[in-house]
Amino acid sequence: MDQRIADLLTLLELEQLEVNLFRGESRDIGSPQVFGGQVLGQALTAASATVEGRIVHSLHAYFLRRGDFNAPIVYQVDRSLDGHSFSNRRVVAIQHGEQIFNMAASFQVEESGFDHQVEMPQVPLPDALPDSSRPPPELLERLPERMRRFFEQPRPFEFRSVQPIDYLRPRRAAPTRQIWFRAVGRLPDDEKLHRCLLAYVSDYFLLDTATLPHGTSFPHSSIVMASIDHAMWFHRPLRVDEWLLYAVESPSASGARGFARAGLFGLDGRLVASTAQEGLVRTKKGS
C-alpha cells in the first residue's frame, strides 16, 4: 500500500477512550492549523463507530477554533437518536480543554425510492488533464516559503484541475471550478470508510472558489481565510480511489464571508454527494 494512503488510514483510526469517547492524532499538512478535512473525517469516523447497520447520509459541522496539529483531538459523541430508519449523532471535538468543532450527522438504513439527479458538467476527462496536485518545480521555487511548505507536503490524493491555476498571478475569473481527484492508491471495499475519506478531501477547493472573481487566492499573504461551517449530503455509493469530479461554484461573497457549494460526480456521471461551505474571507488591514 502507498505510504501516503497508509498514513491517511492511520489518521482515521481513532483510539476509543471510553464509551462514546475517542481520540485522534493530528497531522501537519503545511497550513498554520489542523486541516479542517482531518477534523471532519475523524469526527465522522467517531460518529460512525457508534452506529450499526446504517450509513451516513448527511452532516452539518461548524469550525469553532483553530486546531493545533501538535496535539491530539478528543471526540465526544452524543447518541441523540436511534429511530426505526434513522440515527442521529452529535460530535464535539475538544483540544486543550476547549471545543474546536462540532457536528451533527444523520445515518439511515438502506432503502429504495424515487431517483433523479442533475447532469454532470461537460468537462475534459482526467486522463486528458495534467496533474495539478502541486505547481511545477520551476514555479514552486518562486513561491514564498510558507506556500512552498504547503505544496511540498506529501498528499494522499491527486488532483487534476479543469481550469489552469496561476498561484503567482491569479486573475479574475468566474466563480466556478471543476477538479478531478482520487486517492493515490487502492482502498478497502468499505462504504463507511470511503464516505469518511470523502469528508476529509471535501475541504479542498471549496472556499477558495469564492476568491476567483476578485483576482486572489488562499496562498497570498494579504488574504485571511478560514472555514466557518461545512455541510455534506451523500446520495449514492462512492469510491474515493476512483476519479470523482468536484464541480464547485460560489454564488455569493459578502460581509467578509464567502459561500461555495458543489456536486461530486463519478466518471459514469452519477451524482454521489453534494457539499456546501461558508467561510471567512478577509483582506488584511494595510494590504
The residues that are catalytic are 203, 227, 277
Name the phi and psi angles at 123, rounded to 5.
-135, 160
CA distance 243 to 125: 9
Taking CA atoms, 211 is separated from 142, 161, 192, 282, in Å, by: 22, 16, 33, 10
CA angle 270, 275, 276 (to 5 degrees): 150
Amino acid at 267: L
The sign one gets for the Cα dihedral 169, 282, 29, 184 is negative
DSSP state string for 194-206: HHHHHHHHTTSST
